[in-house]
Chains A and B, each alone.
Chain A
Amino acid sequence: DADVTQTPRNRITKTGKRIMLECSQTKGHDRMYWYRQDPGLGLRLIYYSFDVKDINKGEISDGYSVSRQAQAKFSLSLESAIPNQTALYFCATSDFAGGGETQYFGPGTRLLVL
């Protein structure tokens, strides 16, 4: 089984709809992240969380909110989806380990907002 899972894997929605993307991990990591990927722009950080009680905005948090329901679960919500939120969304986890902090990514969710 994958260490980091994301649901749904693909989603089509309409402008103005509320949508939630979910992420679960079995790696036992404390830190979790949400990124979006747009063609030609690489990945950009939306939100990150060090633990259940700690949530922080990334560089492009406007229009998004998150919930850390448990150490293993981190959800991303689009309260009112708009077409420029069409992108590939990744959840990632990490655990600081002696100098290196590698982030491990889920399989991604392809979101299309019409």
Chain B
Amino acid sequence: AQKITQTQPGMFVQEKEAVTLDCTYDTSDPSYGLFWYKQPSSGEMIFLIYQGSYDQQNATEGRYSLNFQKARKSANLVISASQLGDSAMYFCAMREGGGFQKLVFGTGTRLLVSP
């Protein structure tokens, strides 16, 4: 079974609007972490935001926020006031358990921001 599912292969948004990128996850471990990374066309992977399973509040980092709905096992990324530079691939990832566990990545969503 897929651990991380990103159902939107591509998304379009107009500049200055908000956009939500979906991510659902599957785990039976009560302790886990959820991450979002951005991959621009240049190829590097840029860390955006982290949410721990025990965190009481949704994570926020500047224009990025994570809409964490634990019961639904979803961890959607919300980008407010989209900018042209937000056009990129976005990957959701999960780390299960305490100590070291590998990151499991989704297949990504390509976001295109239009003027």
Q: Chain A, 69-87, contact with B by CB distance < 8 Å: what is the 0/1 string?
A: 0000000000000000000
B76, chain A: closest CB distance, angstroms: 17
Interface check A114, CB cutoff 8 A: no
Interface check B68, CB cutoff 8 A: no
Tell whether, in the assembled complex, residue A50 and residue B43 are in contact, meaning their CB atoms are under 8 Å apart: no
Q: Chain B, 88-115, contact with A by CB distance < 8 Å: what is the 0/1 string?
A: 0001010100001011011110000000
Closest to A59 in B: B102
Tell whether, in the assembled complex, residue B107 and residue A40 are in contact, meaning their CB atoms are under 8 Å apart: yes
Interface check B25, CB cutoff 8 A: no
With A100-B33, A107-B44 known to touch, is A31 a contact of B100 (CB < 8 Å)? Answer: yes
Closest to A50 in B: B100
Main secondary structure of the interface of B (DSSP, over half): strand
Closest to A42 in B: B105
Indicate the size class of the contact surface on chain B.
Answer: 20 to 34
> Which residues of chain B are near A41, meaning CB under 8 Å?
107
Q: Give CA–CA (A44, B102) in the complex, Å.
A: 9
Q: Chain B, 53-91, contact with A by CB distance < 8 Å: what is the 0/1 string?
A: 010000000000000000000000000000000000001
Which of A58, A88, A106, A110 makes the CB contact (< 8 A) with B102?
A58
Task: Give the one of A42, A92, A104 with max B CB within 10 A.
Answer: A42
Q: List 22 A-B contacts (CB under 8 A).
A: A42-B4, A42-B91, A42-B105, A42-B106, A42-B107, A43-B91, A43-B93, A44-B105, A50-B100, A88-B43, A90-B45, A92-B45, A99-B33, A100-B50, A101-B33, A102-B35, A103-B103, A105-B37, A105-B45, A107-B43, A108-B45, A110-B43
Closest 8 CB pairs of A and B: A42-B105, A105-B45, A107-B44, A43-B105, A108-B43, A45-B102, A42-B107, A100-B50
**Which residues does B use to contact A, with CB under 8 Å?**
4, 33, 35, 37, 42-47, 50, 52, 54, 91, 93, 95, 100, 102-103, 105-108
**Which residues does A use to contact B, with CB under 8 Å?**
31, 40-45, 48, 50, 58-59, 88, 90, 92, 96, 99-108, 110
